[in-house]
Amino acid sequence: MGKNIEGPLYYEKMGRTGPVIAFIHPNPMDQSCWIFQMAHLSTWFRCMTIDIPGYGKSPKAKEGLSTIDIAEACWEAIDEAYPGEPAILVGCSTGSNIAPYMYHLRPEKTKALVLSGTGYSPGKEFATARIKDYQTKGAAYRWEYTFQDFSPYFRTTPLAHYFANLFCERNDFADVNSICYQFAAMQTQVMKDDFHSSIKAPVIILTGSEDNSHQRAFLLQERIPGCELRTLPGAGHACQIEQPWLFNRFMLEFLEKKGLMPAGPKPLRSLP
């Protein structure tokens, strides 16, 4: 069990054949933010979505939680679901912060990294404001925060409200202290000079053009050797929800190019 976490992480699975893909969610969402990827990519892969500590149905974290603690716990969830198997790691925002730590824990088990809602920034100044908002407003802050993960257009749609309500209906499972510990872990995490440059697995960044971190995504790309980047025009931070057809297409094309697509039906290339 990951250090400073009160039990094994909750996860869900979909798909019975193919390589393993593990999805790690952003704040303030939970594992269900990957619903469109689970439904589609399980055609070829065994997919699992993981709730990090304090979110969804995962246990609470303890003070002193580190990003490495979360990364270890995510690998333990993969080990429980698919013993001894390697995995493709997919993250959004917080999940994209955790996934490279997972790589460094088990580089030999990491087949590829798909990162979204992310970019390079030496400091994590935003974390202080998030901690204050959660401490002031409690778990209810997740509803307001969800809309900040979307582009201005998508925020106005019924689907955005559906997802905000979906996450907040689970607030009784959430733990505000654990969420604050996760943000505090971001502030104290230490990256070696070669943290990004030593990544040898294939990496792609999928970034929404309306995401506040969009320009910083190019800075992150420069730090990772051979890293690819694709932009989702008009999408915000949680681009996997806003434009799943494009997110999934870019991801599948990347995995096919890297020889990670199993045999089976060919993905369609057409877009709506």
Does residue 4 sit within a domain? no
Does residue 214 sit within a domain? yes
- Total domains in the fold of the chain: 1
Does residue 262 sit within a domain? no
Backbone angles phi, psi at 195, to 5 degrees: -55, -45
Give the per-residue pLDDT at 2.
Answer: 64
Give the per-residue pLDDT at 68.
Answer: 96
Distance CA 110, CA 57 (A): 25
The angle formed by the CA atoms of residues 118, 123 and 125, to the nearest 5 degrees, is: 90
Question: Considering the entire predicted model, what is its pTM?
Answer: 0.95
Does residue 195 sit within a domain? yes
Q: How many helices (H) and strands (E) does the chain have?
A: 11, 7
Does residue 1 sit within a domain? no
Give the per-residue pLDDT at 265.
Answer: 81
**CATH code of 232's domain:** 3.40.50.1820
Backbone angles phi, psi at 60, to 5 degrees: -75, 160
User: Which one, of 16, 21, 2, lies nearest residue 85 by Cα?
Assistant: 21
Strand 11-14 relative to strand 46-50, pairing: antiparallel
Distance CA 96, CA 119 (A): 9
Give the per-residue pLDDT at 268.
Answer: 74
Does residue 5 sit within a domain? no
- In terms of residue numbers, what domain contains 243? 11-257
Does residue 124 sit within a domain? yes
User: Which one, of 202, 217, 204, 210, lies nearest residue 248 by Cα?
Assistant: 204
Q: Which runs of E-coded beta strand occur in 132-234?
A: 203-208, 228-232
Does residue 193 sit within a domain? yes
pLDDT in tens, the chain (272 residues): 568 999 999 999 999 999 999 999 999 999 999 999 999 999 999 999 999 999 999 999 999 999 999 999 999 999 999 999 999 999 999 999 999 999 999 999 999 999 999 999 876 778 899 999 999 999 999 999 999 999 999 999 999 999 999 999 999 999 999 999 999 998 888 788 899 999 999 999 999 999 999 999 999 999 999 999 999 999 999 999 999 999 999 999 999 999 999 987 888 765 55
